[in-house]
Amino acid sequence: MAPREGSLEAPTRHPLDWKSESFYDKENLFQEMERIFDFCHGCRRCVSLCNSFPTLFDLVDESDTMEVDGVKKEDYWKVVDHCYLCDLCYMTKCPYIPPHEWNLDFPHVMLRAKAVQFKEHGTSFRNKMLSSTDTVGSIAGLPVVSQTVNFVNTIKPVRKVMESVMGISADAKLPKFESKTFRKRFTASEGITAETGETTTGKVALFATCYGNRNEPGMNEDLVAVLEHNGIPVVLAEKEQCCGMPKLELGDLESVAAAKEANIPVLARLVDEGYDLMAVVPSCALMFKQELPLMFPDDEDVKKVQAAFYDPFEYLMLRHKEDKLKTEFPNALGKVAYHVACHLRVQNIGLKTRDVLQLIPNTEVMPIERCSGHDGTYAVKKEFNAISNKICRPVVNKVKQAEAEHYTSDCMMAGHHIESNLNDGSAAKHPMTLLRMAYGI
């Protein structure tokens, strides 16, 4: 019987078998990479996504055999280096994912390769620093220090030195640090009684995230304002550390496990107390909704947190369906060019941000479903910055063509990358900021 060409069945995802000895067997890894690369070479549907696929196809086309067997195994790492684990190939393009018999999971074989590489060689000081968001944020966010860091990061000669010494691109836009973090600004809701819906409890515990706490606390402030305006009381998880996504992208799975041990018990207790969970950064929400459940499929607390975790606009649309969302908007937004973040797309919740914003009268939302090329750290690395800008170019062109009053992204790192590539003095706004503007609160 001939193998099926593609599949119309719903995709399934196998857990990540990262604790087995075979997971770190390099020869076995190369065999699986060659198997998957051979299917990718024969298909090539993913060529327009990240740079992993053009890199792979160029290696094949330039080999002696013009097949995967002609590619040197040591060159496989060039493909791995360009994968930032966005999962879009798996979720939106690949016709051979399970339950198809070929059982392709390109992101997981890339993650496995990163884990093998990390276990054998560790990683650079730059990569450790960029992925240690708690440590860097706690230092760079100190009073006076934050002002100094923010100022220094705008000085071109200093950035050139950073590029030469540390490999951080002099052209990349770096996030600012706030000494007055969201945790310092936040006050738990008072005088608001939660109204339970069919699928929502009507009260939210917020996972602030590293970025939302120390870099752009205004996003979380806007989220809290919108939730409270809609009668949803908000508390803040009493403690948290980085969700683990930056360490996952390095293949440092033990650090991901350590972050899980710190965060999951706190969040599970909040679920037991009747709270729905939420994070304003899509990659952090994805970590709890997908990555940790795949790494720890038998952990009941991980499952509990997964079931209670929501993207903010996903939650607002659920409240709207329950007739519990205020839809009186005194301010129109006009045209909005909306970049749909990759880590939001792979959550399989649909375009909820667009749907909420389109409830606003005289507002037209134009989604742009293309990668911005930023990833968490990819765009700031010297060797990848130019490629990330190239990936971003179609998004920038769409924003220009829209001639919209606002452009936005659920991932503000992506938003600022678009902003940097536009280079016209305009600024991206988070969609929650736009919603707050429309509410006039």
Check pLDDT > 90 for residue 409. Answer: yes
> What's the number of CA atoms in the CB half-sphere (13 Å) around residue 85?
22
Buried b (16+ CB within 10 A) or exposed e, 273-293: eebbbbbbbbbbbbbbbbbbb
- The confidence score (pLDDT) of residue 173 equals 87
Cα distance between residue 265 and residue 157, in whole Å:
45
* Chain Cα centroid distance, residue 278: 14
pTM over 0.85: yes
Q: Are 358 and 365 in contact (CB under 8 A)?
A: yes
Cα distance between residue 372 and residue 392, in whole Å:
4
- The confidence score (pLDDT) of residue 88 equals 87
**To which residue do tokens 């609160």 refer?**
441
Question: The tokens of 158 are what?
Answer: 């200093």
Q: Are 211 and 413 in contact (CB under 8 A)?
A: yes
pLDDT digits (tens, 9 = 90+) for 69-79: 999 999 999 99
pLDDT band at 321 (very low <50, low <70, confident <90, very high): very high
Alpha helices per DSSP H over 403-429: 412-422
As a whole number, mean pLDDT of residues 309-336 equals 96
Cα distance between residue 295 and residue 18, in whole Å:
7
Mean pLDDT of the chain: 91
Burial of 78 (0-12, 13-18, 19+ CB in 10 A): middle
- The confidence score (pLDDT) of residue 136 equals 82
Q: How many residues does the chain have?
A: 441
Check pLDDT > 50 for residue 43. Answer: yes
As a whole number, mean pLDDT of residues 300-326 equals 96
As a whole number, mean pLDDT of residues 376-380 equals 87
Check pLDDT > 90 for residue 144. Answer: no
DSSP helix/strand/coil, 328: coil
Q: Are 22 and 116 in contact (CB under 8 A)?
A: no
As a whole number, mean pLDDT of residues 403-409 equals 94
Check pLDDT > 80 for residue 4. Answer: no
As a whole number, mean pLDDT of residues 38-63 equals 91
Q: Which of 207, 203, 214, 224 is nearest to 260 (CA)?
A: 207
Q: Are 66 and 58 in contact (CB under 8 A)?
A: no
pLDDT band at 7 (very low <50, low <70, confident <90, very high): low
Question: The tokens of 230 are what?
Answer: 């809609």
- The confidence score (pLDDT) of residue 1 equals 43
pLDDT digits (tens, 9 = 90+) for 227-266: 999 999 999 998 888 999 999 999 999 999 999 999 999 9
pLDDT digits (tens, 9 = 90+) for 381-394: 999 999 999 999 99
Cα distance between residue 262 and residue 250, in whole Å:
19
Check pLDDT > 90 for residue 404. Answer: yes
Query: What is the sign, positive or negative, of the torsion defined by CA atoms of 120, 126, 131, 132?
Result: positive
- pLDDT > 90: percent of the chain: 68
Alpha helices per DSSP H over 292-368: 292-295, 300-308, 312-321, 342-345, 352-357
DSSP helix/strand/coil, 226: helix
Question: The tokens of 27 are what?
Answer: 């020869």
Secondary structure (H, E, C), 373-434: CCCCCHHHECCCHHHHHHHHHHHHHHHHHHCCCEEEECCHHHHHHHHHHHCCCCCCECHHHH
Check pLDDT > 90 for residue 377. Answer: no
Question: The tokens of 42 are what?
Answer: 């024969």
- The confidence score (pLDDT) of residue 5 equals 61
C-alpha distances out from residue 151 to 140, 148, 155, 402, 421, Å:
12, 5, 7, 33, 21
DSSP helix/strand/coil, 276: strand
- The confidence score (pLDDT) of residue 3 equals 55
C-alpha distances out from residue 287 to 18, 238, 357, 368, Å:
16, 19, 25, 23
Q: Which of 127-141, 213-227, 371-385 has the highest mean pLDDT?
A: 213-227
Cα distance between residue 385 and residue 88, in whole Å:
20
Bigger pLDDT: 138 vs 418: 418
As a whole number, mean pLDDT of residues 164-184 equals 89
Question: The tokens of 319 are what?
Answer: 């409240």
Q: Are 240 and 207 in contact (CB under 8 A)?
A: yes
> What's the number of CA atoms in the CB half-sphere (13 Å) around residue 44?
10
- pLDDT > 70: percent of the chain: 98
